[in-house]
């Protein structure tokens, strides 16, 4: 089943990249509720999230692993499909109550979001159960990663709630502005589940990995808090959409770089680890 989740993640990535090409060719707007930026960013983000969860779930002890991964992959595909469909129709995907069909799409997105939150909560609870087969560095990284992902989901929920309040009071256009202001905070926390476990998988002695993960958790927490406070105050170095892409790209890029290092080391000449590195072989496998 893991191969299926990886395949779905790769297809979502391909969809996102394809729509970046569409955006480049059509020259459409980057910002705003109607833009091919949305299927691009959502396709990439959900693709990375599905791939990440499929990998990280191997470090979480739960009998419902495949069921939870299947629910996450299905909900992610639904979210990307609905957002992509609305982009091609030239109408907003979120907060759109103009027609009965658009309202149905908005409800579908809300249901998909609810499933995603439920799956992340279930994995987070499971991650905090003791598992002696997982190294201390990986255990800390996975737990912190799920906590940051929950925080990202919480910001997403706040964005939707604030937007729906504006829609209900007849300020549909303002809904996109109010919700969009929280995009950087949501984005910077979204891929901590990739970055932190990737650092815990680096080809280093376990003691060094544990120190690295602890430092990364501290620095990441401070950076995420700073971005969140600035976003709440409406202070960003760029527009919310651009800032969110930069934040998500920086975090996921560092994680992918760490995984690439581990992969190259794993497939290169064998390196001897100190005898005290109890978890070296398992933590370094990808």
What's the CA gap between 23 and 30, in Å, rounded? 8
- pLDDT for 43 equals 96
Residues in the chain, pLDDT under 50:
273, 275-286
In a domain, 60, yes or no: yes
In a domain, 31, yes or no: yes
- pLDDT for 75 equals 96
- pLDDT for 176 equals 67
Q: How many domains does the chain have?
A: 1
In a domain, 196, yes or no: no
Query: Residue 43 sits in which domain range?
Result: 1-131
- pLDDT for 237 equals 67
In a domain, 139, yes or no: no
In a domain, 261, yes or no: no
What pTM does this model have? 0.87
Segment 75-78 long-range contacts (CB within 8 Å, at least 24 positions apart): 75/112, 75/113, 75/115, 75/116, 75/119, 76/8, 76/12, 76/46, 76/49, 76/50, 76/112, 76/116, 77/8, 77/12, 77/46, 78/108, 78/112
In a domain, 49, yes or no: yes
In a domain, 105, yes or no: yes
- pLDDT for 193 equals 95
In a domain, 203, yes or no: no
- The residue assigned the tokens 């760029």 is 238
The two structure tokens encoding residue 107: 């409800």
What's the CA gap between 205 and 202, in Å, rounded? 9
- Cβ burial of 164 (10 Å; 0-12, 13-18, 19+) is middle
- pLDDT for 285 equals 44
What's the CA gap between 125 and 138, in Å, rounded? 16
């Amino acid at each position: 089943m893991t191969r299926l989740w990886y395949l779905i993640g790769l297809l979502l990535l391909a969809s996102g990249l394809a729509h970046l090409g569409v955006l480049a060719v059509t020259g459409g707007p980057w910002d705003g509720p109607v833009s091919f930026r949305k299927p691009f960013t959502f396709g990439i983000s959900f693709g990375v999230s599905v791939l990440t969860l499929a990998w990280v779930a191997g470090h979480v002890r739960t009998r419902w692993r495949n069921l939870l991964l299947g629910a996450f992959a299905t909900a992610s595909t639904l979210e990307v499909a609905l957002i992509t469909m609305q982009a091609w129709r030239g109408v907003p995907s979120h907060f759109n109550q103009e027609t009965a069909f658009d309202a149905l799409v908005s409800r579908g997105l809300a249901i998909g979001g609810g499933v995603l939150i439920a799956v992340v909560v279930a994995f987070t609870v499971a991650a905090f159960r003791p598992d002696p087969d997982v190294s201390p560095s990986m255990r800390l990284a996975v737990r912190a990663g799920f906590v940051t992902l929950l925080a990202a989901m919480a910001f997403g929920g706040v964005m939707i709630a604030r937007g729906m309040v504006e829609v209900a009071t007849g300020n549909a256009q303002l809904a996109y502005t109010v919700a969009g202001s929280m995009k950087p905070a949501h984005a910077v926390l979204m891929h901590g589940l990739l970055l932190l476990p990737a650092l815990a998988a680096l080809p280093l002695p376990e003691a060094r990995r544990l120190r690295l993960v602890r430092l990364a958790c501290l620095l990441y927490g401070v950076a995420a808090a700073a971005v969140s406070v600035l976003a709440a105050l409406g202070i960003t170095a760029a527009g919310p959409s651009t800032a969110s892409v930069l934040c998500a790209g920086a975090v996921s890029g560092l994680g992918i770089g760490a995984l690439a290092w581990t992969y190259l080391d794993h497939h290169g000449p064998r390196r001897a680890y100190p005898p005290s590195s109890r978890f070296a072989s398992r933590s370094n496998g990808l």
